[in-house]
Amino acid sequence: MKKIVLGLLTATLLLGSLESCNNKLNVQPVSTIDSATAFTNSSDVLAALVGCYTGLQSVDLYGGYLQFLTDLLADNGDESFVGTFTQPQEAQRKALLITNSQVSATWLRAYDVINRTNNVLANIGKLDTPNQRASAEGEAKFIRSLVYFDLVRTYGKAWNDGTPASNLGVPLVLTPTLTVADAVPVPRNTVAEVYAQVITDLTTAEALLTTGGSLNPFSATRYACAGLLARVYLQQGNYAAAAAAANRAINDKSFVLNGFYGTNFGYNTSNITTNVVLTTSINTSEDIFTIQLTAQSGTNQLYTFYSRNSRADVNVQPQFLNLFETGDTRASLNTTLTPTAAVASYTRKYDAQYGNIKLMRVDEMLLTRAEANFRAGTTTGATPLADINAIRTRAGLSALTTVTLAQILKERRIELAFEGFRLADLKRNQESTVDPLTGAVIPWNSPRLVFPIPFREINANANLKQNDGY
């Protein structure tokens, strides 16, 4: 009743003064906020930088759909999507349509975040101190690099597929788009050009963040920059550089493996055997960069699809469950190792509804360093055997006396399962996948394993060329 009375009173006052304020109500619609108004001081720029991180939280990016759809696209029998949503169904069947709304939404959100970072970078000079300017530039370039790297390897051919210098990647937009008129119909840059920009930005960012440090507890650090460089170099097959970057990423004694693998996802050795309902999973000493989520900010779409407490749309298949050796404690992150027609198996990695999404961890860097050193014949930071044994020991397995590339890749497949790594790993290792409907083999370089350029983008920009096969 109180709200109704207040509402009526407000309406009466507005009607009584309508004629006197008529001119004030005649506001012309605008499509932009002038950058001189939006960025007037240091606080405005810092707030805009936080907005860049908020953009990463989107379900269309690292809030879940990017990892989820690429894993389904690569899947060759480890998981099965049993839900009713058509967008994931298309991904698992390797039959994406150019009208797939999620493919379009991811593209749009990615370029929205890129534009946010470009606005921050264009206003760096308004920050108060040299350290602030160094940190903000480093963080913005890290975020832009993260998004561009995942765009180019999702919507473009893999680095090892043909000629990167001529294969089409995605458009590089490095200045702010402030108005509709600024939206120039840009063409796609080559895969090589996008990779070069990512490496340049990350190299600069790592140096800047070494000088300035990070601005917030959730911010990207120089270690995150090095970790992302390790991913980029591994994808390129530049193994010496990948090993060196991975080594820099964990070159801080505060980064250590958790004693129990499940701690990364909110579990401990006691509650993993119960039906406890998790709500959050916080950052740990193993985390290098995470997507921060709370009940008030962000959505964990991986919880939505994977968790048995939500839609439970993804069943873990025997092919994956059979990879575990006896005694491997990582197996406890699956609800059962012996699924039946009546009892499915689900991953427990995303049971925390508001759990932070762990985008980069120490275990990934150990696995990358091990693989890169093995392939390069080097021992930067540690031997491949030592790094793999660190992973295995944490999992409760016996140490190996020698290690092969196949064993390294198996450990990577188990450790990083259902976290968005599968498609990139499948392509760089030239592994095939299968059509789940026909059983036909699909080679690693098939056009079916590349996202289409969204139909709406092709319609709006005549300079964009569609990917092969669409």
Concatenating the DSSP letter of every residue in 61-129 gives TTTTHHHHHHHHHH-SSSEEE-SS-HHHHHHHTT---TT-HHHHHHHHHHHHHHHHHHHHHHTGGGSSS
Taking only the tens place, the pLDDT of each residue in 315-334 is 999 999 999 999 999 999 99
- The helix (run of H) or strand (run of E) holding residue 239 is helix 239-249
pLDDT averaged over every residue in the chain:
92
- The answer, yes or no, to whether residue 127 has pLDDT greater than 90, is yes
Q: What is the mean pLDDT of residues 235-262?
A: 96
- The answer, yes or no, to whether residue 417 has pLDDT greater than 60, is yes
Of 147-151, 157-161, 281-285, 313-317, the least confident: 281-285
Asked if residue 426 lies in contact with residue 441, where contact means CB atoms within 8 angstroms, the answer is: no
Residue 403, CB-side half-sphere exposure with 13 Å CA sphere:
26
- The helix (run of H) or strand (run of E) holding residue 442 is strand 441-442
pLDDT at 215: 81
pLDDT at 297: 85
* Residue reference for tokens 């026909």: 438
- The answer, yes or no, to whether residue 211 has pLDDT greater than 80, is no
Taking only the tens place, the pLDDT of each residue in 351-386 is 999 999 999 999 999 999 999 999 999 999 999 999
Tell me 188's DSSP state: P
* CATH for 39-220+440-470 (3.30.360.10, 1.10.3080.10, 3.30.930.10, 1.25.40.390): 1.25.40.390
Q: How far is CA 443 from the centre of its chain?
A: 24
Give the model's confidence band at 178: pLDDT under 50 very low, under 70 low, under 90 confident, else very high.
confident
- The answer, yes or no, to whether residue 96 has pLDDT greater than 80, is yes
Map 8-76 to HEC letters: HHHHHHHHHCCCCCHHHHCCCCCCCCCHHHHCCCHHHHHHHHHHHHHHHCCCCCCCCHHHHHHHHHHCC
- What are the boundaries of each domain within the chain? 39-220+440-470
Q: Taking the CA atoms of the chain, what radius of gyration do you get in angstroms?
A: 24
- The answer, yes or no, to whether residue 17 has pLDDT greater than 60, is no
Q: Read off φ and ψ for residue 435, nearest 5 degrees.
A: -80, 120
pLDDT at 467: 98
Taking only the tens place, the pLDDT of each residue in 254-277 is 999 999 999 999 999 999 988 888
